[in-house]
Structure formats: structure tokens, C-alpha cells
């Protein structure tokens, strides 16, 4: 039965080692009929056999066969691949099938989305890797799915690396063994930034066996996808069939249901308008707003109403066209220009206008489009240049790829949501209200206008508002009159006029985590609070931190063994927190104002516009509140004092002894020896019981640092009755540490991240900037290099080949040259600095900042300790950096003592050394010996050309790609030039 074209965007794929396709029963073929794309390997079908078999294959598919081959006259043929694509799925005309021994690709389209689906049968991973690298070019991957029998075992390697992953984890799998073929496969996956679906995807959470036969149970069949495809995979399962020892691998992509109409899907939303015109109208209306005297709740309500009424709004009709792209720069002016040009064209054909009039109108239209496009590109460029963190990088990429958050299940009722979050946050239905504390008002320092304006400047745009719907922009773009009114309200609260009812309420929005989507506990909640309250809380937090720092309420460690506190913010006992703040001598009025915030906290759950009944919470600090991290830090601020009294464990750093390091609800505990650590754990168990906090043992890890090689005793670590896993590396605050205290694990992680990001960034660049060389380089610096630089203050002294390779790969894509082109030629041609230049600069600046400012006593002591490790570890890398640039470490120290800042000078020297090294390699290279004669001091002018085709041709000739003699690794007959080859052919 044929499908209607475009009936359903969802694609179902199955890849299966069938161990021979002949004599399969009807149920086998019925099973395959459930899929849209079928990839079968080890079919054992030879050319003659296929001629007969093809006629009997299911007619709803278009079938292609790669014949099995005999290694000798005796026995059966080995290998063979058959792929089928259901009729109704478009194939690319003329390029739908690509194949090589053990490799077959079908390129299919569902609506406007093109999928590259590859089936693999591997006999040697080195050969398979070569074929994949040649057949699947990185910059042309598209939406890629690769599956088949790789005859490789990767153990727990290949865990998907999430955008903000906290720890290094093994991929769930029932086969923990890794072999040489598996290591080759993992290397390919990591180099290309791909993800293995086995054990990483919904449907195969445990990493099921894919081969169950006489040789045991293993996982040797895999499906891999690139980053573009990952977001579009709904489910991956290892099927349950008995026709072969291998299990089928089933992939289902995300897609709309069949009954969904192909017409535009329309919905209306009301959007606040913050254009220049919108801001002017907003301010003008605010100037006309009236304010009256009243009690605190009336003032808050009046201000909120005035702000909302003044905001410029627009009802927007969202048209979700299936698979169609819209030029973001296209607007009314472009549309009118196009209409004018078309009108002139019609009139010209009717002889009502001249040809020149039409050409002028068309030229004007083209010019308008060009200007709009360039304006949009400048906006995008500025937006990208403002990106600083990895989180911002992924937010930008996901927005550009139209990646949406996981849809919240509609099978969970609002009452179930309310009950789940009420229990999670310690809500109680019938609790006797405590008698409200009488706040003593003595000498009170009012909230100043300067304090308020300082916090308003910190507000970020485009953030979700609380229940009142007032965005941060309302305060950012407001008038002096509005700010004065807000200040008046805040001082009223501060002086004891009451706490506004609107500020007590938070809206919880469920966000899917993992597991079954129809279960409420598989979601976490983010709480949205009213923005006016958040500004007030920011001022209170600023005052609290000032007091705590003045009174030493936070040890240096508050800015080993890593503990993860389970739902820490939700479990804080408020009475214990107030007690600790008073014990540390925090201003009584400040404490009572914080207490006032927590006298009554109200929550509601919102899902798809529906809002639940409210519930009150009496435990924990408020999620989404600027005060919460500081309050939690205060709550566990005495943990260092507890360790100090116990005297067990800890590490001596110079003149200081450190027991713990904490950030938010992550805590690291340190000790020099096993005995000390176990004593610390015992003390900490008592501390956590007293604070009524729970440790998440599953996420807590133990790591033992060691210097030498060889085997060591594996210790058993426990928290109460539960065992704590000992690991060789873990991630803390984004940095990967390993047991040998080297940067190798972290740099490896950076390379994987960077490979994943450039795969996502390349397509965005093609769409936004086309072949604009300067802007494509800017994209790399803003979106890839910015992520690669994280932690350079630690590892930046040494050149990291893996990171240099990532930049080299991207530059080769931009130039359009072969992957074999030497990196030193590519870097010279593009006049790019190596990653080592910026990394070294950051390492020097960090060190000089420590010396000049002395901001953290512990860091100062750490630097002194490092100075003792001459010729070892990071200090050795530092010495080698200085020597490479013509200085000795001792000489640098003397210059700094004399007040001379060395950063700029060292960076320039490193840049000069880099150029010398490149040109020496170019001069001595066997590849493209002529390149030395065409080196330019500035960026070659051809790279500024608009035509990519011209640029690529010039780049390939300049970089030696078009001269066969440069490929010295090939045989002489292959290196003969084309003209001689043709003459010999004649």
C-alpha cells in the first residue's frame, strides 16, 4: 500500500544483521513493513541470487542491494547489504544511493528535511573508519543516521555529553568489555562529535545486548547520529526477534501525527513590544499614569496595573508552516519592493511602462533586500560577539535550530502536578500558622536610589516574568517616576508596612528530565517570581553578603570527595537558618526582613496556560530567588568550622589548612589520607543529620589523587550504609579533574565539546552568512573558541594539539581545501593565531591578577606551593612557556617585582615565535614546496571575494591541493599530472 506524499513527517528506521535473508517467513517481512527505511546486513545475497530475490521483495519499498562476496570458491558468500525505502519517501534524484563495500547510504526526504541514512557492515574498523571519513564529509553531514554491525565492543564509552553535564559518567550498557575495534569506533565518534544511541536514548536506557548467540551476549551493533539528528530522535530500541542471533535496532524520529493537516497551523499570542517605538509609547503612557496613597498591597497593585497598561502589546498570529524556512531579514519594505517590481514587470509586458523603469524597480528591490540582509547579519554578529559562556552558546545554537523544550505530558492532571510539587517542596494543607514575629524597628538604613538603580542595571532582557506578567524590560526602560514609586514601595516593606501579597507567590513550570513522560516525578520545576520582588531580593542579598563577609560568616572555601546534596534548596530548615544568621551577628533588622519573605510562601503549577490551585510551603529557600544561593551558603557556612574542630583530614596549603570547598549545593571535602577522610565522613554525617539535609549518594563520588604508576589498593567508601563510587576523574564547576592531576582529561572533554559545536555551528553559518569568510571566522571565535578557552588559566601554558586540530579542521572547511592539507599552511594562509596564543595570555593574566590583587588567601597560598614544584607538572609547563618566548622564570619574577606587567610582551613574543615555527615547517616541508614563495604578510585579498567558488579554487591551488606531486605518500603513477596522464592514455 502506497502512502500519500508527505503524509507523516515521522520516519521509522530499522537496521539489522539478519544472518541471511533467504527463507525468511511472512512474519519477518510483516515486521519490516512497519518501518519506512530498512537496512539489512549480512544478507549473503550474491548478484545472481538478487536477480531472483528482487522480484519477490515487498513492493511497497524501493530496494537496493550490495552483493555479498566469496573469499574462495568453496562455502557461501559473506557480507552483503540490502536497503529499502518506502515509496512515498522522496529520494534525492540521481544521488539517492551511495555505496562501497560494507557501506550503503540512502538519502531520503520527508517534506523539507533531508536525511542521510547509512547502513554499515564492518569487518575492520580501520577500513570502515576510512570509508566513512571519505564518504561522509563533516561539513556536508546534514541530518545523519549511521547504523549496523560494527563488530566492535565499546564498553561504557560513548556517553552522550550534555550541555551542562556535572559529572563524567559511563554509558549504560550490559556489555562492559571494550576491545581494539571498539576504541577505533569511539575515536571516530568523538572526532566527529556524534552520539551513540545505544544506552543514551529513550527506549534503551540500560544498553541492551544486540547479539545473543553461541558466542555469548555482546553489544556490537550500534546506531550513531550527528548533533543535527539527535534532537529529532524520539526513541531508539533494541528489538526482540528470533530470526537472527543479532537483534534489530529500531529508530523512531520525532514527527507530527498523520491526522495533522498540511495547512498552516495558526495560533495567536500577545507579545510585549520593546522596539524603539514601543519603548517610547511605554514611557509616554507611564508619564500620564496616576498614583494615589494607600497601604502597601494597594500601591503594588496600582504600580503593576500602570506598568501593564502602559506596555505596548501586539497580537501575533503564529504560522507554523511545515518544514519551510523564513528569511529573518524579510519585512514589509522588502515585500512592497517586490510588489512594485512585479507591477512594473506586468506593466512593461502590457507596454504601460518601459524596460528601464522595470529594471530600476527591480534594482531598488534587490538593493533593499541586500541592505536588510546586511543589517540582520550585523545584528547577528553583535549578538554572537556578546556570547561568553558555554550555556549561552548552546542557547543560541538551540534557538537557531528551532530546538524546543520537551513537551509536558497532557496525561498528568493539574491536581497530580500540585500534589507532586507540594510534597517535594514540603507543602502542608493544614498547618497552624506561627505567630508572626514583631519586628523591632530601630535605626534603619533605608534602601537608597543608588542601590535600586545598581540592581536594575543587572537585570537581563528576554527573561520569563512571574504571575503578574511584568518583564524585566518594564523596569529597564521605565521612567524616573516609576522607579521612584518602586523605591517608595520597597522602603515601605523595609520599614515594616507589610509584605506585598503578590510578592509571596511563585509559578512552578515543570521541565522534563528523563524517564517516563507521564510520571510527574520525572520532571523538575523552575519557579518564576514577580520581577519587582526579585529586584527587592537582590538588594537584600547584597546587604546580606556584605554583612556576612564583614563578620567572617563564610569561609574561603565557600566561594577530594564531592558531595551532592539532594534537593538542597528545598530541604533547608528555615528556623535553623535564622538561628545561624543571628548567631553570626547579622543585623537583626536584616534577618527579620528575610524572615518576613518566608513567613508565607505560596506556589502554583502552570502547564500549557493552565494554573493549579495554590499551596503553601514552610521548608526550603525559594527556587528562582536571588537570595537563595546566599542563604544556602549561610546555612552550611559553619561546615568548615565543624571540620576545624574535629581536626581530622584537610589539606595544608602554605600557611592555611583547607577542609572543604563549596559552590551552591555542591561540596568538595579534602583529606591527605584515607583515615582522615573516613573520620571527616563520620563527622559530616552527624552535621547533615543536625542540619536535616540529605546527601545524594548516587551522585557523590570519591577520587584518590596519586603520583606514580602501578597498582594501588582500592578502598571502600561509605556514606552511612550506602557505598560511594570511587572514580578516576570527575567534573567540578565545569572542569574535569583526574587522579593524576593533569589537564589531559579536561582537554579531551573540550575537544569533544568543540567537535560537537562546530558540527552545529556550520549549518547556522551557511544559512546566516553564506560564504562570508570574515563572519564565518567570527562565528568560530564567538561560539567555538569561547567554549574551548574555559579553564585556560590552568592548562594554557602548554600547546594542546587536540584543540589546535579543531581550529585547523574548521579553517579547512572555510577554505574548502582537502583534509590532508598541512595545518601550518592553513594557519599561515588564514593568518590565524593558534589556540595557544589566547590560552597562554589567559594563564599569564590570571597569575598576574593573583599577584596584584590578592583577592583570595587560599589561591595566594596555592601559587606559593606551586612555585616549590620546579620542573614538575603545571609549573614545568609554565617554565617551558617562558623559555619558548625567550625568558627564564626567575627573570619574569624579577621584572614583575619591579612593577613591569609582562602579559602583552609575552603574548607578542609567542605570536612571533609561532610565525617563525610555521615558516620553518613550510620551508622544510615535502608538501607544496612552492608555497613559501607566495606567502603574504597580510590576509590574502582573495579571501574577501564574495564568490565562494573562486575563493575555493584559489585556496586549493595556493595550498597545493591541485598538484598531484604534492601528495608524496601516493605511488608515482598516481602523482603524475593530469596532462601527462591524458597523453599516456592516448
Query: Which residue is listed with cell 607566495?
Result: 934
Closest CA to 961 of 971, 969, 953, 951: 953
Structure-block grid coordinates of residue 647: 581536626
Question: What is the Cα–Cα distance from 31 to 12, expressed in whole angstroms?
Answer: 12
Structure-block grid coordinates of residue 354: 518601459
The CATH topology of domain 12-160+169-253 is: Deoxyribonuclease I; Chain A (3.60.10)
Strands 249-253 and 12-17, by their bridges, are antiparallel
Q: In this predicted structure, what is the pLDDT of residue 231?
A: 86
The parts of the chain modelled with pLDDT lower than 70 are: 1-8, 72-75, 90-96, 162-168, 256-267, 317-327, 349, 402-406, 427-443, 553-570, 664-665, 708-712, 853-856, 973-986
Taking each helix axis from N to C terminus, what angle separates 835-853 and 903-924, rounded to the nearest 10 degrees?
Answer: 160
Residue 21, judged by CB atoms within 10 A of its CB (0-12, 13-18, 19+), counts as buried
Closest CA to 38 of 21, 61, 5: 61
Structure-block grid coordinates of residue 886: 625567550
Instruction: Give the DSSP per-residue string, 484-516.
Output: HHHHHHHHHHHHTS---GGGGEEEEEEEE-SS-
State the sign of the Cα–Cα–Cα–Cα dihedral 662, 667, 671, 675: positive
Q: In this predicted structure, what is the pLDDT of residue 211?
A: 92
pTM over 0.85: no
Query: Which residue is listed with cell 573562486?
Result: 950
Angle, vertex CA 450, rays to CA 447 and CA 453, nearest 5: 100
Which distant-in-sequence residues (6+ apart) come within 8 Å of 986 by Cβ? Answer: none
Cβ atoms of 737 and 749 closer than 8 Å: no
Strands 666-669 and 660-663, by their bridges, are antiparallel
Question: What is the Cα–Cα distance from 804 to 833, expressed in whole angstroms?
Answer: 10
Question: What is the Cα–Cα distance from 777 to 807, expressed in whole angstroms?
Answer: 10
Cα atoms found within 13 Å of the Cα of residue 677, Cβ hemisphere only: 22
Phi, psi of 269, deg, nearest 5:
-135, 150
Angle, vertex CA 867, rays to CA 865 and CA 872, nearest 5: 100
Phi, psi of 286, deg, nearest 5:
-65, -35
Residue 514, judged by CB atoms within 10 A of its CB (0-12, 13-18, 19+), counts as exposed
pLDDT in tens, 390-429: 888 888 888 777 666 667 888 899 999 999 998 888 766 5
Q: How many other CB atoms are found less than 10 A from the CB of residue 140?
A: 10
The CA–CA distances, whole Å, from 270 to 9, 308, 320 equal 29, 12, 16
- Residue 540: helix, strand or coil by DSSP? helix
Q: In this predicted structure, what is the pLDDT of residue 896?
A: 81
Which distant-in-sequence residues (6+ apart) come within 8 Å of 79 by Cβ? Answer: 41, 42, 44, 66, 68, 69, 101, 102, 121, 123
Structure-block grid coordinates of residue 371: 541592505
Cβ atoms of 149 and 18 closer than 8 Å: no
Phi, psi of 925, deg, nearest 5:
-75, 145
Query: Which residue is listed with cell 558555554?
Result: 390
Q: What are residue 509's DSSP bridge partners?
A: 526
Domain boundaries, the chain: 12-160+169-253, 414-428+446-702, 789-940
Instruction: Give the DSSP per-residue string, 374-437.
Output: HHHHHHHHHHHHT--SHHHHHHHHHHHTT--PPPPPTTS-HHHHHHHHHHHTTB-SS-PPPPPP
pLDDT in tens, 546-564: 888 887 766 554 444 444 4
Q: How many other CB atoms are found less than 10 A from the CB of residue 233?
A: 21
Q: What are residue 148's DSSP bridge partners?
A: 120, 222
Which distant-in-sequence residues (6+ apart) come within 8 Å of 676 by Cβ? Answer: 648, 649, 650
Residue 660, judged by CB atoms within 10 A of its CB (0-12, 13-18, 19+), counts as buried
Strands 143-149 and 113-121, by their bridges, are parallel
Instruction: Give the DSSP per-residue string, 663-678.
Output: ETTEEEE-BSSHHHHH
Phi-psi region of 854 (alpha: psi -120 to 50; beta: other; left: phi over 0): left
Phi, psi of 508, deg, nearest 5:
-95, 125
Amino acid at each position: 500500500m502506497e502512502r500519500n506524499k508527505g503524509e507523516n513527517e515521522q520516519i521509522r528506521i530499522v537496521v539489522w544483521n539478519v544472518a541471511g535473508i533467504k527463507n525468511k517467513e511472512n512474519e519477518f517481512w510483516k515486521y519490516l513493513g512497519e518501518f519506512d527505511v530498512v537496512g539489512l546486513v549480512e544478507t549473503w545475497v550474491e548478484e545472481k541470487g538478487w536477480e531472483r530475490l528482487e522480484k519477490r521483495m515487498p513492493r511497497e519499498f524501493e530496494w537496493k542491494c550490495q552483493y555479498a562476496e566469496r573469499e574462495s570458491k568453496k562455502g557461501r558468500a559473506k557480507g552483503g547489504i540490502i536497503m529499502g525505502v518506502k515509496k512515498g519517501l522522496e529520494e534525492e534524484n540521481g544521488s539517492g544511493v551511495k555505496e562501497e563495500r560494507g557501506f550503503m547510504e540512502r538519502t531520503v526526504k520527508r517534506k523539507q528535511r533531508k536525511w542521510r541514512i547509512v547502513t554499515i557492515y564492518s569487518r575492520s574498523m580501520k577500513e570502515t573508519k576510512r570509508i566513512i571519513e571519505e564518504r561522509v564529509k563533516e561539513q556536508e553531514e546534514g541530518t545523519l543516521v549511521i547504523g549496523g554491525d560494527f563488530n566492535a565492543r565499546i564498553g561504557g564509552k560513548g556517553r552522550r555529553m550534555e550541555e551542562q553535564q556535572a559529572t563524567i559518567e559511563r554509558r549504560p550498557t550490559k556489555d562492559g568489555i571494550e576491545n581494539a575495534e571498539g576504541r577505533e569506533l569511539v575515536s571516530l565518534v568523538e572526532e566527529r562529535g556524534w552520539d551513540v544511541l545505544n544506552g543514551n536514548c529513550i527506549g534503551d536506557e540500560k544498553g541492551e545486548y544486540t547479539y545473543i548467540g553461541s558466542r555469548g551476549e555482546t553489544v556490537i551493533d550500534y546506531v550513531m547520529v550527528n548533533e543535527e539528528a539527535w534532537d529529532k530522535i524520539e526513541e531508539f530500541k533494541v528489538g526482540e526477534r528470533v530470526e537472527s542471533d543479532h537483534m534489530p535496532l529500531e529508530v523512531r524520529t520525532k514527527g507530527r501525527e498523520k491526522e495533522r493537516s498540511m495547512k498552516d497551523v495558526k495560533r495567536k499570542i500577545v507579545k510585549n513590544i520593546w522596539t524603539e517605538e514601543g519603548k517610547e509609547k511605554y514611557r509616554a503612557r507611564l508619564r500620564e499614569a496616576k498614583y494615589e496613597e494607600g497601604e502597601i498591597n494597594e500601591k503594588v497593585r496600582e504600580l503593576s496595573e500602570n506598568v501593564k497598561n502602559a506596555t505596548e502589546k501586539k497580537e501575533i498570529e503564529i504560522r507554523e508552516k511545515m518544514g519551510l524556512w523564513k528569511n529573518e531579514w524579510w519585512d514589509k519594505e522588502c515585500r512592497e519592493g517586490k510588489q512594485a517590481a512585479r507591477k512594473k514587470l506586468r506593466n512593461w509586458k502590457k507596454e504601460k511602462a518601459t524596460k528601464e523603469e522595470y529594471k530600476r524597480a527591480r534594482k531598488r528591490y534587490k538593493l533593499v533586500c541586500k541592505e536588510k540582509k546586511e543589517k540582520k547579519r550585523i545584528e547577528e554578529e553583535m549578538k554572537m560577539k556578546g556570547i561568553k559562556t558555554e550555556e549561552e552558546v548552546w542557547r543560541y545554537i538551540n534557538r537557531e535550530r528551532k530546538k524546543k523544550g520537551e513537551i509536558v505530558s497532557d496525561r498528568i492532571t493539574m491536581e497530580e502536578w500540585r500534589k507532586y510539587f507540594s510534597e517535594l517542596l514540603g507543602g502542608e494543607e493544614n498547618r497552624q500558622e506561627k505567630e508572626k514575629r514583631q519586628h523591632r524597628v530601630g535605626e534603619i538604613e533605608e534602601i537608597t536610589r543608588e542601590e535600586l538603580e545598581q540592581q536594575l542595571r543587572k537585570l537581563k532582557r528576554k527573561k520569563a516574568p512571574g504571575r503578574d506578567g511584568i518583564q524585566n524590560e518594564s523596569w529597564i526602560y521605565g521612567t524616573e517616576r516609576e522607579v521612584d514609586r518602586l523605591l517608595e514601595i520597597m522602603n515601605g516593606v523595609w520599614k515594616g508596612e507589610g509584605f506585598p501579597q503578590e510578592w509571596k507567590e511563585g509559578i512552578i513550570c515543570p521541565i522534563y528530565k528523563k524517564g517516563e513522560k507521564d510520571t510527574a516525578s520525572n520532571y523538575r520545576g523552575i519557579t518564576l517570581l514577580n520581577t519587582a520582588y526579585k529586584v527587592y531580593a537582590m538588594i537584600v542579598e547584597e546587604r546580606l553578603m556584605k554583612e556576612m563577609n564583614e563578620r567572617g560568616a563564610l569561609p574561603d572555601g565557600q566561594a577530594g570527595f564531592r558531595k551532592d546534596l539532594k534537593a538542597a534548596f528545598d530541604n533547608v530548615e528555615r528556623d535553623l537558618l535564622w538561628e545561624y544568621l543571628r548567631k553570626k551577628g547579622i543585623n537583626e533588622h536584616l534577618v527579620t526582613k528575610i524572615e518576613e519573605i518566608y513567613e508565607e510562601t505560596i506556589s502554583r503549577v502552570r502547564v500549557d496556560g493552565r494554573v493549579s490551585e495554590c499551596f503553601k510551603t514552610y521548608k526550603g529557600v525559594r527556587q528562582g530567588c536571588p537570595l537563595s544561593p546566599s542563604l544556602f551558603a549561610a546555612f552550611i557556612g559553619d561546615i568548615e568550622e565543624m571540620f576545624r574542630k574535629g581536626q581530622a583530614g584537610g589539606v595544608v596549603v602554605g600557611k592555611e589548612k583547607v577542609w572543604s570547598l563549596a559552590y551552591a549545593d555542591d561540596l568538595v571535602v579534602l583529606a591527605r589520607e584515607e583515615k582522615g577522610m573516613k573520620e571527616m565522613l563520620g563527622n559530616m554525617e552527624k552535621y547533615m543529620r543536625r542540619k536535616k539535609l540529605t546527601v545524594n549518594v548516587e551522585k557523590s563520588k570519591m577520587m584518590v589523587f596519586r603520583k606514580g604508576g602501578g597498582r594501588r589498593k582500592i578502598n571502600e567508601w561509605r556514606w552511612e550504609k550506602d557505598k560511594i563510587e570511587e572514580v578516576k576523574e570527575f567534573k567540578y564547576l565545569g572542569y574535569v579533574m583526574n587522579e593524576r592531576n593533569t589537564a589531559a582529561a579536561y582537554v579531551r572533554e573540550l575537544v569533544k565539546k568543540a567537535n560537537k559545536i562546530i558540527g552545529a555551528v556550520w549549518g547556522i553559518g551557511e544559512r546566516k552568512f553564506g560564504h562570508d569568510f570574515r563572519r564565518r571566522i567570527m562565528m568560530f571565535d564567538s561560539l567555538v573558541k569561547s567554549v574551548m578557552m574555559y579553564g585556560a588559566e590552568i592548562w594554557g601554558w602548554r600547546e594542546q594539539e587536540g584543540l589546535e586540530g579543531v581550529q585547523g579542521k574548521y579553517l579547512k572547511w572555510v577554505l574548502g581545501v582537502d583534509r590532508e592539507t598541512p595545518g601550518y599552511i592553513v594557519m599561515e594562509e588564514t593568518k590565524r593565531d593558534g589556540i595557544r596564543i589566547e590560552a597562554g595570555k589567559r594563564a599569564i593574566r590570571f597569575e598576574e591578577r593573583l599577584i596584584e590583587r590578592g583577592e583570595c588567601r587560599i589561591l595566594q597560598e596555592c601559587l606559593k606551593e606551586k612555585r616549590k614544584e620546579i620542573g614538575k607538572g603545571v609549573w614545568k609547563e609554565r617554565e617551558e612557556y617562558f623559555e619558548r618566548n625567550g625568558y627564564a622564570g626567575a627573570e619574569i619574577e624579577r621584572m614583575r617585582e619591579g612593577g613591569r606587567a609582562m602579559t602583552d610582551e609575552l603574548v607578542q613574543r609567542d605570536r612571533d615565535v609561532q610565525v617563525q615555527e610555521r615558516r620553518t615547517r613550510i620551508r622544510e616541508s615535502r608538501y607544496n614546496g612552492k608555497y613559501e614563495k607566495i606567502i603574504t604578510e597580510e590576509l590574502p585579498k582573495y579571501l574577501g571575494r564574495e564568490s565562494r567558488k573562486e575563493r575555493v579554487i584559489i585556496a586549493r591551488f595556493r595550498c597545493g591541493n591541485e598538484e598531484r606531486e604534492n601528495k608524496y605518500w601516493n605511488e608515482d603513477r598516481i602523482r603524475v599530472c593530469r596532462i601527462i596522464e591524458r597523453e599516456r592514455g592516448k
